[in-house]
Structure 1
Amino acid sequence: MPLDEDKYPQDTGRRRFVKGVVGSAALASVSAAGGAAITTATNRSGAGGGATEFIGIENTAGPAPRGMPIVPIRINDDNELEGIWPEVSEVQSGGGTVTVAEQDVGGTTYSSTWFQYCGVQQYPTVRPDLEADNRFVAEPGTYEWMSDMEKGQPLTVDDFSDYQNWGNGIGRDGLGKPAMGKWRQNEEGRPLPIQVIRSPEVPKMAAGEGKYSEIPSDVRSFIDAATEQSFLAYLDKCTHFCCVPQGFKTTADAGAEDAVYCQCHQSVYDPFSPVKKQFVALPRPEE
């Protein structure tokens, strides 16, 4: 089964920091409020970790402890899909200066710490101040409709023109059209795995229509601001054991025919059930 190699990072000669953050997070007794996300790990073990509140797609089955974080989207002038990277600033913490990337999205503080788990915190491309190409680019292989696309080709609105009736023989047709991709291309480090879905359900979630009326108002406000033209995206890293999930509408196993399925340990995620959760973000390597 295709486990992601980031579970077992190569030896770089740098002092390992993952073990250290577990103890430091416990001792810090941080909360999700204010600057807690930057106060825990500004020491030799790394930078920029701590208690983090995020909005993600809900884990509904399997061993995963929480959902996967949503990536806010914009569409550029060339009709290409881009992930929004938070605004970069410097703050004073623990007697020093720490670089952070965060901004208000629909009343929620969206931060780069949302993505600091499961080895992603070691990617140079998750560093707050690293300039990268934020376009979503194709990663063919999972979906037949992407077979004619080149790896690294930007995903565009036109690629999803049939999203209102698209189907692949799994689950319900017309629920949405998915694509596998990468985000934040930069020669210094590997891009981040993402999945994007264009679905008629996305604007309904933002508006709280019908069954979506039970979504809390602050989460709906975030969804409204983080989506565009019915597109929704999330970091494609299972929170259980760091695998890259097989994807949306890829199997009927475990009741995942209209959901996101992780093939490694059968965790299931519902992309149409956004939830606000908290976790302890792992610190990045010292910069």
Structure 2
Amino acid sequence: MSDSDKYPADSGRRRFVKGVVGGAALAGVGTTGAAAINSATTSPGAGGGPTQAYAIENTGGPAPRGMPVIPIEIDGEGFIKGVWPEIQTITQGGVEAQVAQTDDYKGTGVTYSQAWFQYCGVQSYEGMAPDFESDNYFRSDSGGYEWQQEVYSDGDRLNVNDFDDYESWGNGIGRAGLGKPATGTWRSEDTEDTMPIQVLRSSRIEEAAQDNDFLAAATDQGVIAWLNKCTHFCCVPGYKQAADAAKFNAEDGVYCQCHQSVYDPFSIVQTLFTALPRPEE
């Protein structure tokens, strides 16, 4: 793994305010530098280059930026799925390539793209192919939480009804009642490399979504999800999973035990970074 893969470049961060944070301001940041970055990352491969993404905020430790949000939907039976962007054909460097990108996600003006997840080697995963066949449901892994191990087996779909006690749940780490989490995978059926995700249902997300167009579109019933790959060294962090998190004031946040990076799942920010291109098919 190259250093550029382990340490994605970070060009800025903006905290969400009421309504949609406009992309125009960030779009003009570092135009010359962005052009240089783009030329360095678009060949070989597809879909790389400067990317604006929405992420849970990195608030401490060496991680250069937050971890990207995965917009979700909940079906009629309560099962939670990650929304995959629309498949498009683009011309990049004179070559046509498929990418997954929704230009105006649910009318928010936000461009939601698979490029949000193209870092830490994930860009080479089979599930990152735009046309990879998946139902996009979040599936439980071995379970980072006792409640999850009691309710699910590996591969079971996560269901919002199993989070009903989210306003009181606790596991002895930090404050109880902030939200109920689960860990799992996404777009990883029958693949060698699995995309780790974390789901959290919280009344704080419900409240924030009332005043934020993108958060309202990307969450449902207080459920938020993100790609659970630390942007520092590609480890898998956890929300209320590590007993030593309190040493770093991270007992109520998402904490990476590898190098003590901390993320705030209740603060959704806009980041500008260099997405790595997918390998040529």
TM-score by length of 1: 0.81
What pairs with 1:81-96 in structure 2 (closer than 5 Å)? 81-96=80-95
Contact 2:166–2:177 (8 Å) recurs in 1: yes
CA distance in 1, matches of 2:82, 2:62: 28
2:25 is the counterpart of 1:30: no
Contact 1:249–1:259 (8 Å) recurs in 2: no
Match of 2:60 in 1: 61
CA distance in 2, matches of 1:18, 1:198: 30
Match of 1:195 among 176, 193, 198: 198
CA distance in 1, matches of 2:238, 2:141: 12
Match of 1:183 among 171, 183, 186: 186
| Paired residue type of 2:260 | Q
What pairs with 1:44-123 in structure 2 (closer than 5 Å)? 45-103=44-102, 104-105=104-105, 106-123=108-125
Contact 1:125–1:189 (8 Å) recurs in 2: no
CA distance in 1, matches of 2:163, 2:109: 29
| Paired residue type of 1:117 | Y
Match of 2:239 in 1: 247
Contact 1:60–1:270 (8 Å) recurs in 2: yes
Match of 1:223 among 215, 223, 246: 215
Contact 2:145–2:241 (8 Å) recurs in 1: no
Contact 2:5–2:119 (8 Å) recurs in 1: no
Structure 2: gaps spanning 5 or more residues: 10-31
Match of 2:171 among 160, 168, 171: 168
2:128 is the counterpart of 1:126: yes
Q: Deviations over 1:91-127 (max 9, x none)?
A: 2232221211111222211100000001111101112
Match of 1:214 in 2: none
Match of 2:23 in 1: none
Q: Deviations over 1:27-80 (max 9, x none)?
A: x8436xxxx97x76443x322210101000000010000000000000112210
Q: What displacement does 1:175 show?
A: 0.5
Q: Pick closer, same or farther for the CA change 1:46–1:108 going to 2, 3 Å.
A: same
Q: How many residues align?
A: 251
| Paired residue type of 2:189 | N
CA distance in 1, matches of 2:124, 2:181: 27
Match of 1:238 among 222, 226, 230: 230
Q: What displacement does 1:168 show?
A: 0.9
Q: What displacement does 1:138 show?
A: 0.7
Report the RMSD for the aligned CA atoms in angstroms: 2.4
Q: Pick closer, same or farther for the CA change 1:256–1:197 going to 2, 3 Å.
A: same
CA distance in 2, matches of 1:91, 1:249: 41
Contact 1:52–1:278 (8 Å) recurs in 2: yes
- Higher relative CO (Cα under 8 Å, sequence separation at least 6) belongs to 2
Q: Relative to structure 2, which stretch is displaced further, 193-202 or 86-95?
A: 86-95
Q: Pick closer, same or farther for the CA change 1:244–1:131 going to 2, 3 Å.
A: same
Match of 1:284 in 2: 278
| Paired residue type of 2:228 | D
TM-score by length of 2: 0.82
Q: What displacement does 1:18 show?
A: 6.3
Contact 2:174–2:240 (8 Å) recurs in 1: no
Match of 1:215 in 2: none
Contact 1:249–1:258 (8 Å) recurs in 2: no
Q: Deviations over 1:122-150 (max 9, x none)?
A: 10111222222310011134211112221
2:267 is the counterpart of 1:257: no
SS of equivalent to 1:241: coil
CA distance in 2, matches of 1:250, 1:88: 38
CA distance in 2, matches of 1:157, 1:188: 25
